[in-house]
Amino acid sequence: MNLRSVTIAGIIGVLALSVVGFALNSGGTTHEDKLRIAYFPNIVHAVPIVGMEQGYFAEELGPDIYIETRVFDSGPQVIESLFSNSIDVAYVGPGPAINGHLNSQNKNVRILAGATSGGASFVVHPNSEISSASDFAGKRIAAPQIGNTQDVSLRNYLSKHGLQSVEKGGSVTVYNIPYPDIHTLFVKGEIDGAWVVEPWATILETELDGKRLFYEEDLWPDKQFASALIIGNTDYIRNNPETVSSFLQSHRNTVKWINENPIETRNVFNAFLKSYLGQSLSNEVVDTALSNLQITDDPLLDSIYLFAEQADSLGYLGRHGYDISEIFYYDSDSVEAMT
């Protein structure tokens, strides 16, 4: 099977799972002592995938804590599940993390740790003439759903270069659509470029002859920005301090293993795709995608504050200002302080 067939099959699988979230490892059994974790089926979320597939989460949490995972493909869906008490912790981008914190009752969503830095790029269609920011005028650009991390980055980039989307009176048409639809429009030549995360950026580049105009980290101070974070429900954190502390330790252990074992990480990731989506990606795509991001437990605080400023300047954080001074939580000492 060629790369295109494999990729499209995987994309269809992702789309099928992303509608409401797909529960894994549930077993149909009720457990009082459990941890429900949400994440996405992409390489930016390598930590939870590896942590679960290699058993590092289960090893650290022990046999008395039952782990249930749910796979999503949309940050807002994750936040809704967190609000409805369907999940306890989740791996998401800074956009959903900030919105979840601000929109939850009593700011009941906190950032627990970092997971990934970087891993997003702007990819130009091979038939488009975009070679610099000045060429964005009059073009059709795609990004995931409105308010998503990549959407904020795209619109902030346009604003910095004196451009606006059509709905704001500008000339740039912005399509906020799911990743599979971005892929479809790219195939049809109906968009000029897309602001996407890995492995989608590498897929558009290697499979569809797209041109990677820039890596998003090149636009950030020190070329670092949080692209995946762990967030948690504050009530769960308060009521389960030992479980949360053990989970965070397993997260740190997994980060270390991934950084020491990139080839094995690729194999684990592809095995996950094969098992849950029915198809995997080529080794080349996964290796390239993994090399384009940094796995880290550092939440990169400065980038979160800067991202919030950008989202606020776009009107995404409400009309009356915002306060994320209480958004961060880090370790077991902090858990104990909340009890």
As given in the structure block, the two tokens for residue 34 are 């459990």
Domain that holds residue 333: 3-118+224-338
Question: Do residues 193 and 165 both lie within one domain?
Answer: yes
pLDDT at 338: 43
pLDDT at 146: 87
Question: Do residues 100 and 128 both lie within one domain?
Answer: no
Question: Do residues 16 and 41 both lie within one domain?
Answer: yes
Question: Do residues 134 and 189 both lie within one domain?
Answer: yes
What is the greatest pairwise CA distance in the chain?
58
Question: Do residues 70 and 49 both lie within one domain?
Answer: yes
Q: Is the peptide bond before 199 cis (omega within 30 degrees of 0)?
A: yes
pTM exceeding the 0.85 threshold for the entire prediction? yes
Write down the mean pLDDT value for the chain.
Answer: 87
Q: For the chain, what is the radius of gyration of the CA atoms?
A: 19
Amino acid identity for residue 60 in this structure: E
Q: How many CB atoms lie within 10 A of CB 257?
A: 18
Distance (Å) of CA 264 to CA 69, 214, 257, 258: 22, 28, 9, 8
pLDDT at 9: 44
Count of alpha carbons within 13 angstroms of residue 70, beta-carbon side: 25
Spatial separation of the C-alpha atoms in residues 144 and 43, rounded to whole Å: 16
Question: Do residues 146 and 242 both lie within one domain?
Answer: no
Tell me what the mean pLDDT of segment 209-238 comes to.
Answer: 95
Report which of residues 53 and 23 the model is more confident about.
53
For residue range 35-64, what is the model confidence (pLDDT) as tens digits?
999 999 889 999 999 999 999 999 999 999
Question: Do residues 97 and 14 both lie within one domain?
Answer: yes
Tell me what the mean pLDDT of segment 145-155 comes to.
Answer: 90
Tell me what the mean pLDDT of segment 101-117 comes to.
Answer: 91
CATH number of the domain that 142 lies in?
Answer: 3.40.190.10
- Structural domains counted in the chain: 2
Question: Do residues 269 and 320 both lie within one domain?
Answer: yes
Give the pLDDT band (50/70/90) at residue 1: very low
Q: Decide which of 223, 238, 268 is a domain's last residue.
A: 223
pLDDT at 24: 52
Question: Do residues 111 and 248 both lie within one domain?
Answer: yes
Question: Do residues 8 and 112 both lie within one domain?
Answer: yes
Question: Do residues 231 and 216 both lie within one domain?
Answer: no
> Nearest to residue 145, comparing CAs of 215, 93, 107, 184?
93
Tell me which residue has tokens 């610099």.
132
Q: How far is CA 217 from the centre of its chain?
A: 15
Question: Do residues 229 and 333 both lie within one domain?
Answer: yes
